[in-house]
Amino acid sequence: MNMQPDTTESHTLTMTRDFDAPRELVFRAFMDPDQLAAWFGPEGVDSPRDRIVIEPRVGGAWNVVMTWDEGGEAKESPVNATISVYEPPVLLVAGEMAHPEQGIPLQLQMRLEFEDLGGGRTRLHLTQGPFDSTEWVEMTREGWGSSFIKLDKLLANT
C-alpha cells in the first residue's frame, strides 16, 4: 500500500493512494451506495445506507450524510454533490456548495482519477477543494486517510 505525501497548495487537498484491487472495483466502491456505506467516513463515523443517493451520470447526485456521536449528541455532515464528469472507471468529478463554520459558502470540487497500474492494482489521484483554511485541508486529509483504511478492508473481501 503506497500513500504519497499530500499537499495543501491554495487550500486544495491532493492525495495519491494505491489500492490492491482492479480499477473497476475501486471505482465501483465510490459509486455503489451499498459499498460506499461500508467504508465512507473516518473511523467512528458512519454513512448510513438510507442517507446515500448516487445517480451515476453527468448531472446526477453524489450525496452522502456522515453521522457520529459527540458527547452524547448526534452530529451529521452532509455531502451534497453534483457529478460534472462521469467516465467509468477512469474519472469522477463532482462539485458541491459547502457552508463552513464561518457561514461563507464555498464551491468545492472533488476530482477522482483512477489509474490502472496493472496486476490488479489501482492508483487513485484525489484532488479536493479549495477549502477556506489549511485546517480544513488537514482535517479532510485525515478523514480520507482513515476512510481508505476501511476501503482497503472492503476491497480485500470483494
CATH number of the domain within which 58 lies: 3.30.530.20
Q: How many domains does the chain have?
A: 1
Per-residue pLDDT of the chain (158 residues; tens, 9 = 90+): 555 444 445 799 999 999 999 999 999 999 999 999 999 999 999 999 999 999 999 999 999 999 999 999 999 999 999 999 999 999 999 999 766 555 556 789 999 999 999 999 999 999 999 988 899 899 999 999 999 999 999 999 98
pLDDT of residue 10: 74
Name the pTM for this structure: 0.89
Distance of CA 119 to the CA centre of its chain: 24
Give the range of the structural domain holding residue 147, as residue numbers without chain letter: 3-156
What's the rounded Cα separation, in Å, for the pair 50 and 52? 6
- DSSP labels, 102-155: T---EEEEEEEEEEEEETTEEEEEEEEE--SSHHHHHHHHHHHHHHHHHHHHHH
pLDDT of residue 42: 95
